[in-house]
Amino acid sequence: MATAELGAGGFAGRQALLRLMAWLSPAFPVGGFSYSAGFESAVVEGHVVDGDAVEAWLQMLMSDGGLRNDAILLSEAHRCQKEGRALGVLIALATALAGSAERHAEITRLGEAFVKAAAAWPHPVIDALAGPVPYSVAVGAVASAHGIDRLDALAAFLHAQVSQYVSVAIRLGVIGQTRGVAILAISESLILDAAASFSELGLDDLGSATVIADTLSMRHETQYSRLFQS
């Protein structure tokens, strides 16, 4: 089908989809493969030992932990950009919520790398995100600036994060590729339900009940041998 036959709305929607796919692809140069958000310590210390445990860990993070908070921050960044509100206060809050020095370095390095790479699609939002900026905030603001639906951005972001954890589990030898793909398939409904729920939440809903996961992220800083930076 020729581009002209798609219509303005159809073309814009497909263009937004392509951008979202590019930005959250494992090939996008943010360096996400270097980090595990403390998941490596969960494996080393025996909290995650097989595929069932990987699934349970991911569900916990999405319902009560860091993935939930990241999604809420992304959603709020999307709103701020869409409504023309400044992002400075949100950036400061998201940065302060990092539970450890490694997590702080992870989210800000990923965010800066994301903004730098996303500058290939010029937009004034890039200037508003100069300097250290948490990854979730950067993704939400840039997605909003380019007309990407908030629900779509949330679902794609959560899927990318789950995929990263699965990749970490494979590289650490906890699961194989076949089980990893199965976990991604099983996670689809969870991700879609979570995206729909988190899109309605605001900053007052931020919070975490995953004390062990947060503590393991701190312990990773002094772990003797490790593959990942966090």
Nearest to 174 by CA among 186, 185, 187, 165: 165
Q: Per mean pLDDT, which range of 2-16, 18-32, 39-53, 103-117 is the poorest?
A: 2-16
In a domain, 95, yes or no: yes
Give pLDDT, residue 31. Answer: 83
Residue 30 per-residue DSSP state? S
Residue 21 falls within a domain, yes or no? no
Residue pointed to by tokens 């409904």: 189
CA end-to-end distance (rounded Å), the chain: 46
Phi-psi region of 80 (alpha: psi -120 to 50; beta: other; left: phi over 0): alpha
Q: Extract the tokens encoding 175.
A: 């699961």
- Give residues with Cβ within 8 angstroms of 225, minimum separation 6: none
pTM (global) more than 0.75: yes
Write down the H helix ranges in 84-228: 88-96, 101-118, 125-128, 135-145, 150-171, 177-198, 211-219
Q: Is 17 within the bounds of a domain?
A: no
Asked if residue 174 lies in contact with residue 70, where contact means CB atoms within 8 angstroms, the answer is no
Residues of the domain holding 184: 40-219
On whether residue 227 sits in a domain, the answer given is no
pLDDT at 111: 94
pLDDT of residue 2: 38
Count of structural domains, the chain: 1
Residue 1 within any structural domain of the chain: no
125: CATH: 1.10.4190.10
pLDDT exceeds 80 at position 63: yes
Share of the chain above pLDDT 70, in %: 95
What pLDDT digit, counting tens, does each position of 103-160 carry?
888 899 999 999 999 999 999 999 999 889 999 999 999 999 999 999 999 999 999 9
Q: Residues 186-216: pLDDT tens digits? A: 999 999 999 999 999 999 999 887 778 778 8
Q: How far apart are CA 111 and CA 44, in angstroms?
A: 27
| Residue 79 lies inside a defined structural domain of this protein | yes
pLDDT number for residue 161: 94
Mean pLDDT of all residues in 25-52 = 87
Amino acid at 23: W
Stretch 90-98: mean pLDDT: 93
Is 6 part of any domain?
Answer: no
